[in-house]
Amino acid sequence: MAATAELFEEPFVADEYIERLAWRTPGGGSRGGVEAFDPKRLLEEFVNHIQELQVMDERIQRRVEKLEQQCQKEAKEFAKKVQELQKSNQVAFQHFQELDEHISYVATKVCHLGDQLEGVNTPRQRAVEAQKLMKYFNEFLDGELKSDVFTNSEKIKEAADIIQKLHLIAQELPFDRFSEVKSKIASKYHDLECQLIQEFTNAQRRGEISRMREVAAVLLHFKGYSHCVDVYIKQCQEGAFLRNDIFEDAAILCQRVNKQVGEIFSSPETVLAKLIQNIFEVKLQSYVKDQLEEHKKSDAEQYLKNLYELYTRTTNLSSKLMEFNLGTDKQTFLSKLIKSIFISYLENYIEVEIGYLKSRSAVILQRYYDSKNHQKRSIGTGGIQDLKERIRQRTNLPLGPSIDTHGETFLSQEVVVNLLQETKQAFERCHRLSDPSDLPKNAFRIFSMLVEFLCIEHIDYALETGLAGIPSSDSKSANLYFLDVVHQANTIFHLFDKQFNDHLMPLISSSPKLSECLQKKKDIIEQMEVKLDMGIDRTLNCMIGQMKHILAAEQKKTDFKPEDENNVLIQYTNACVKVCGYVRKQVEKIRKSMDGKNVDTVLMELGVRFHRLIYEHLQQYSYSCMGGMLAICDVAEYRKCAKDFKIPLVLQLFDTLHALCNLLVVAPDNLKQVCSGEQLANLDKNILHSFVQLRADYRSARLARHFS
């Protein structure tokens, strides 16, 4: 392979180059296998190729040296040429400076000459202008307008310029000598002004924007320019309010005028602001008055709804108009317009709101009680009633006759939802319509109405009625409806709390009224919790009373001391079956009526009282051996019933009672061993002794010796 410079072009890889050389050499590659490999031939080829590379290297080196010499020569020539160009550039720059100085000198002379010419021409032009004005003034003085500018309607623009100047001059003239001419000039001034406004009006009707712009520019120097703007605003509104939605019409009109007004007037923001002011003070104010005055005295609900909707839509329109250029402080400008419309309605808004809320809430409650054919009784306050309340809270005695509510709780979720919905709407209106400084105070007043009618007039009344309907603990009546009152009251409390957090808190969160509202809420809930606790306590007493009646009616002395010890066929007594059935129903009812930890608290209290009842009940009888076995079976059934409570303490109490009942049947010799057992070891010795005393063989077996 002949060595050439092209073989060493980038990218050059030495290994690949050697491989190619070996492959091209006969006997040097892998072709033909091991037998065909000829190392001598390959060595010879490598030696020859190295010599070729050395020759090529020498040739390239000579060429490089030649090119370097040539480059040095050209560099010297180029440097010489650059020096010559620099000298030429310096000469040219010197000539340029001389030329610039000469031009500046000529320009100064020209400016000076121009100033001199202007100084001569300006007085001349003023003199010519004054001469023309004097000529026109003479025509007014003579009483006959002959100039074409006044007689040709096409030159109204030039006539307007002249008459405007003459009008200014006439203002300076003494009235006694020039009263007549001043009157004529003023009359012509007024006529031209009217013509220009009429021309502007016609151009607007034809939609000729360029002509409107020309006339407006001329009228800008006249006193009637504002009238031109008024005409434009009036004509813009023609046919713009044909639909039922005045707010949408107003927004569309302002959008259209905003695009057009900049092409006509020199100060478009002023014209647009005047249009918006006209819409608010004429169209919107009239519309709002018609909508509100109709219901202000006759229908407070519709009045408040209309006020809220109108104010909301007006503020939304104001937000849309904020996009337009209305001058420097458009926020204040639009706020003042809104205030001018609604100020008379917003000043006494909260009084109307509270009055409506009070009457509406009273109607909702009365309608509910009427549907139940219930005459709401008054719950007295002060004096004897307070004394009764304090005695009842401390002693839990039912003062006064029990009221039969026929299972009615006098709590209605529908009534609650209606009251909360009315209050929610009141909070929304309060947020929108109240001044920011009055918002927390107004929101608190609405909340006070909710507390009065929902919490006091409805929930508290139901609790009082429910308390009065709870029978005494020794009553044979089994109608215990107070748990239904508890269940519904819990549901209502959750709804009340949700509205407090969702709708009231955002309105008062950053004001001193927050702590006042929280305290009011806390007080009313605590007040109701006291009555709920009292009612639950008395209900539990009634449950225990019902169990006592069952046990007294069903339990016989012969149950635990049968006449025939060998012929006892029952597993547990009838009294036990009925009591357990009653208890299971009450446990289920408590679980349905309450939630959270309240369930466990009430069930634990019921379980403890249930245990005490059974314990005291068993103490009333004497037990034979078979009767003791039956008592153990009864307690085992009671213990199974206690498991439904799912309260460890209650189950433990019945486990201990079951262990105590074993003392009724254990052999006398094993009595001491059983008393020291795991479940009974920690009990007082007198308790163990009292149970052993119930055995029929207590005296005959001399069991007292075990406790001496």
Mean pLDDT confidence for 273-289? 89
Q: What is the pLDDT of residue 385?
A: 47
Instruction: Please say which residue of 142, 169, 194 terminates a domain.
Output: 142
The residues that bridge with 695 in the sheet, in sequence order, are 623
| Residue 367 to residue 414: CA distance in whole angstroms | 12
Q: What is the pLDDT of residue 167?
A: 58
Q: Where are the alpha helices (DSSP H) in 237-381?
A: 246-261, 268-278, 285-293, 300-321, 330-346, 349-371
Residue 524 has pLDDT above 60, yes or no: yes
Mean pLDDT confidence for 89-95? 88
Query: Residue 623 in 3-state DSSP?
Result: strand
Residue 409 lies in a domain: no
Q: What is the pLDDT of residue 149?
A: 56
State the distance between the two ends of the chain, measured CA to CA, in whole angstroms.
131
Q: What is the pLDDT of residue 533?
A: 92
Mean pLDDT confidence for 481-505? 91
Of 3, 40, 39, the C-alpha closest to 21 is 3
Of 49, 47, 58, the C-alpha closest to 3 is 49
Q: What is the pLDDT of residue 88?
A: 87
Q: What is the pLDDT of residue 220?
A: 72
Residue 572 has pLDDT above 60, yes or no: yes
Residue 26 has pLDDT above 50, yes or no: yes
Residue 129 has pLDDT above 80, yes or no: no
Q: What is the pLDDT of residue 188?
A: 64
Residue 381 has pLDDT above 50, yes or no: no
Q: What is the pLDDT of residue 297?
A: 81
Provide the b/e sequence for 664-673 (b: ≥16 CB within 10 Å).
bbbebeebee
Domains in the chain: how many in total?
Answer: 2
Residue 138 lies in a domain: yes
Residue 48 lies in a domain: yes
Q: What is the pLDDT of residue 239?
A: 80
171 pLDDT band, cuts 50/70/90, is: low
384 pLDDT band, cuts 50/70/90, is: very low
Distance from chain centroid for Cα 147? 74
Q: What is the pLDDT of residue 264?
A: 85
Residue 18 lies in a domain: yes
Residue 145 has pLDDT above 50, yes or no: yes
Mean pLDDT confidence for 361-382? 81
Residue 173 has pLDDT above 80, yes or no: no
Q: Give me the CATH number covering residue 634.
A: 1.20.58
Q: Which amino acid is at 310?
A: L
Q: What is the pLDDT of residue 95?
A: 87
Instruction: Please say which residue of 85, 108, 142 terminates a domain.
Output: 142
393 pLDDT band, cuts 50/70/90, is: very low
Structure tokens at 553: 């009616």
DSSP 8-state symbol, 663: G
559 pLDDT band, cuts 50/70/90, is: confident
Structure tokens at 592: 């349905």
Residue 310 has pLDDT above 90, yes or no: yes
The pLDDT mean for the chain works out to 82
Q: What is the pLDDT of residue 9?
A: 62
| Residue 682 to residue 352: CA distance in whole angstroms | 71
Residue 235 has pLDDT above 70, yes or no: yes
Contact 232, 256 (CB under 8 A): no
Considering the chain, what percentage of its residues have pLDDT values greater than 70? 80
Residue 588 burial (CB < 10 Å; 0-12/13-18/19+)? exposed
Residue 671 lies in a domain: yes
What domain range includes position 641? 558-706
228 pLDDT band, cuts 50/70/90, is: confident
| Residue 428 to residue 305: CA distance in whole angstroms | 11
Q: What is the pLDDT of residue 3?
A: 57
Structure tokens at 543: 């449950």
Residue 248 lies in a domain: no
Residue 350 has pLDDT above 90, yes or no: yes
500 pLDDT band, cuts 50/70/90, is: very high
Mean pLDDT confidence for 344-349? 90
230-239, 382-391, 587-596: range with highest mean pLDDT = 587-596
Residue 396 has pLDDT above 60, yes or no: no
Residue-wise pLDDT for 192-203, tens only, equals 777 777 888 888
Residue 566 lies in a domain: yes
Sign of the dihedral defined by the CA atoms of residues 385, 390, 396, 397, in that order: negative
Q: Is 27 left (phi over 0), alpha (psi -120 to 50) or beta?
A: left
Structure tokens at 485: 């009152």
Contact 26, 38 (CB under 8 A): yes
| Residue 493 to residue 482: CA distance in whole angstroms | 16
Query: Residue 697 in 3-state DSSP?
Result: coil
Mean pLDDT confidence for 114-140? 59
Mean pLDDT confidence for 483-503? 91
Mean pLDDT confidence for 25-31? 64
Residue 519 has pLDDT above 50, yes or no: yes
Residue 659 lies in a domain: yes
Considering the chain, what percentage of its residues have pLDDT values greater than 90? 31
Dihedral in degrees, nearest 10, Cα atoms 408, 410, 414, 418 = 170
Backbone angles phi, psi at 29, to 5 degrees: -100, -160
616 pLDDT band, cuts 50/70/90, is: very high
Longest dimension (CA), the chain: 159
Structure tokens at 367: 């309608």
Instruction: Please say which residue of 114, 142, 170 terminates a domain.
Output: 142
Q: What is the pLDDT of residue 330?
A: 83
Which of 349-358, 400-409, 550-559 is the least confident region? Answer: 400-409
Q: What is the pLDDT of residue 624?
A: 87
Mean pLDDT confidence for 330-350? 90
507 vs 265 pLDDT, higher one? 507
Q: Where are the alpha helices (DSSP H) in 458-568?
A: 461-469, 482-499, 505-508, 513-554
Determine the Cα angle at 33 with ends 32 and 37, to 5°.
85
Backbone angles phi, psi at 623, to 5 degrees: -120, 125
